Amino acid sequence: MLYWWSKFVLLGPLLRLYCRPTIEGLEHVPERGGAILASNHLAVADSFFLPLLVRRRITFLAKREYFTQPGIVGWFKKIFFSGVGQVPIDRSGGSAAQAAMNTAVRLLREGQLLGIYPEGTRSPDGRLYKGKTGVARMALEADVPVIPVAMIGTGAVNPIGSRMWRPRKVHIKIGTPLDFSRYAGMAGDRFIERSMTDEIMYALMELSGQTYVDLYAASVKERAAKADAEGAAREASRMPGTRAS
């Protein structure tokens, strides 16, 4: 109930007025049954615009901590994340990756529509980065199709580091579902899962028009952060009165 209230009463009308979002390829989203919407990831705004324009409810996975923070701020966070279709992952019994996998497969087997960002994190520079194979494992274990989705313009609405969203045009392109039934029973085969993931990323590259980079976005971000820290340390060492240790 909260999901639909946010979509049609609170957030939805505001986002439609602010960014005039459009979508093409809605016919590729099945009316019922489990499926994965695998999207590129340019901004936090991606998780708002995709549910807004797809008729069916979309579920995204989120850290359990988003739903358990105490106090009034924690209550508002819980309401907010629930309202945009996110469900908590309980990581107390094992690794975060396995918890996410178990939750995703359960939701898909229940016939739900699951939103996934194969890159694992937002693109640091607008390019499309190498996909992680979890999306392939989910598709094989739940026996569902993967539907490629290209978010276009959300990076301009919500640039990394920005506090305020900007009124920019948003467009979403949904591609033809990818059927991986030929690999049935092969979940856990790393070669097969890598091949599937690369096929998904190629479809995203064609849909979005982004330049593809055969590196993980998280690794690129880590290297950039390390370089920034080293640069700051060098600058600090040059300041008057600072001695090198």
Tokens 């919500």 sit on residue: 158
Q: Which residue type sits at 24?
A: E
CATH class of 2-214: alpha beta
Task: Kindly report the backbone phi and psi dihedral angles of residue 221, in degrees, each rounded to the nearest multiple of 5, phi listed first.
Answer: -65, -40
> What pLDDT digit, counting tens, does each position of 127-173 carry?
999 999 999 999 999 999 999 999 999 999 988 888 888 999 999 99
**In contact, 120 and 217? CB cutoff 8 Å:** yes
> What pLDDT digit, counting tens, does each position of 5-56 carry?
566 555 777 888 888 999 999 999 999 999 999 999 999 889 889 988 999 9
Mean pLDDT of 95-109: 84
**In contact, 40 and 119? CB cutoff 8 Å:** yes
| Summary mean pLDDT of the chain | 86
The pTM assigned to this predicted structure is 0.84
Each domain of the chain, given as residue ranges in start order, spans: 2-214, 216-245
Contacts of 93 by beta carbon, 8 Å cutoff, 6+ apart = 99
pLDDT recorded at residue 21: 95
pLDDT recorded at residue 77: 65
